[in-house]
Structure 1
Amino acid sequence: MPKLLIVTDAWRPQINGVVRSIENLVRDLEQFDIEIDILSPAEFHTVPLPGYPEIRLALATPGRVARRIEAANPDFIQIATEGPLGLLGRRAALKRNGFTSSYHTRFPEYVSARYPIPESWLYRFMRWFHNAGRGCMVATESLRAELAAKGFTNLHIWSRGVDTELFHPGYPKPLDLPRPVFVHVGRMAVEKNVETFLAMDLPGSKLVVGDGPMLADFKARYPEVTFTGAKSGPELAALYAMGDVFVFPSLTDTFGLVVLEALASGVPVAAYPVTGPKDIIGQSGAGVVDTDLHKAAMACLDLSKDDARARALGFSWAACARQFLDATYESYGVKR
């Protein structure tokens, strides 16, 4: 049975798109008789990321990571993140049979939003990191075109899915809020551009679900907004389902799993025309992408919840796992 080792700096108890993508990939790869091993910060002492204590960085050494990989003896190595473990895993993998990677996060934009470091320097690092591998997996065609224009090579599509049994429109409303309800789910952090949504003049109510370093500040400055903090499972799904419009203000996500979760909940999505939303929504009528986010949000009030749900039904995690496996075999030059 082939063995896949996934090296990731993002893992439980973190709640984000990278972790959820890997969790669903692992679950659905089981049907293909693939043995999965995860190398994560859970195996090491960790320290909090400065300014973002929810994220823990592994205190690993090159020797320890190399020995761990040798002991696992995988046929394939997938490096999911560009953090400490990703860097050490990359180094060890290059001495074996190489690796594939995935471009989950717009690292250059995220860092530049916090520190005065030019994006061009950071993209140079990202090319160095990913181009050394056998293949780099990206979530959408628009991201593949964008990265190819920036000099990234060997790009493969690995899309994302949604659990349409968990996320659906049929939940009882957990909160009594004036309608229409404009909802957002995500991390309360500067790179997510959440404040653009919070500051918008919209009728009805705003409901915001998620945690992060800016949550306390947002609560203090926007007392009229309902903030619930982080939620998961049916509790999260019920909050999605009570929305009339899902507003996605991010300009830096590579996909946006929350967009699919909102659509599965029967909630049309308003977003900017950027990578992720424009690929997911397209011409489906399930949402509106516009450079004027307020205009998009108001236009979504006239859209069909059934059309939103129908669009989400086209995205399955099982199909994503098959796509990932095909890209892995192709990158390694192995016939299935």
Structure 2
Amino acid sequence: MSPSRRRYRGQFLSEHMTGSLTSVSAHAFALRSYLGAARISIDAVTGGGAAEVHLAHFAQTSFAFVTVPRVALTWHRTQDSRGRAAILVARRGEFRLVSDVPAVVHGASAALITPGDAPVQIETTSDEVELIYVSIAASLLSSELGALAERVERGPLSFRQVAPIYGFIRALTEPASAGPEDPRAELATPAEAMATSLAGILGHGVSGDEGVLSRLFAFLDTHYGDAGLTLGSVATRLGSSPRTLQAALTRAGSTFTEELRRRRVRRVDSLRRSRPELRAEDLRIAAGFRSTSAMYRALRTYAESIPGPGDGSAARSDRYIAETEEKPHIAAMLVSGM
């Protein structure tokens, strides 16, 4: 299928930018029409400078080579957007993904925004930014990326990893030479392969559950001391569902109870080292166990994960339990953050 190619040039003016594009170029209307069709609005321009957009469209993929000044824009996604993902890679300058939507973000130079219908806000943060933009069909993403439910942060992307693809896309979007047929009309397949490879590079090693689990683990790391925590209450606090959390944990080979008990056992072990005067009841309260018997069971179950002398872990745990029972009760000394 022949690609559609357009080249739009414009001049951004900083005055009176309130959601529309002002241009002194003869192609201003064409550029504005393209942005409207793509449901992209220019919300603000905080710096002057030229804007240039080169485009190439195929059935499964679309590409743009873009240079812009400091600008804020919104991609107003719809239900149809659930079938498309977007990739941005900056060669010069930086941008940031403002919206908290499912995405893989590599510093301030690259992002893969997975399919969805929530609005996406993006801001360029340099005076002159050069980047490529790729719209790719959701069916071309890996199943892990397609299932991504949270934002995942990665370190900055090395441009060397994507330089050949970046160069291909820049050349692909250059206006075709004059003639009855576009000499690059047969590039749909390699263009699709390039887009898929780029998505694979940005999403390498990312699990569809990664964002869900990172939020869950961060919450448990902070709130394990709450004796009333349940899978349902945590799901509500995270804006998720018990089924989603449990499914992610199952795929990771764990359970909610295991994750919670491990953190509580680590807290008990840390306290017994730093506060040897504490009794079992004090430790139970500080770690969030509902009863001392539940704490003892967890200590025995997870004793292997507690560092200590070389004698048997179970024996060490039993000895520690006996020792805590002999200590004076000082629950009144418990303080927040102890």
Could you state the TM-score of these two structures normalised by the residue count of structure 1? 0.21
Rg larger in structure: 2
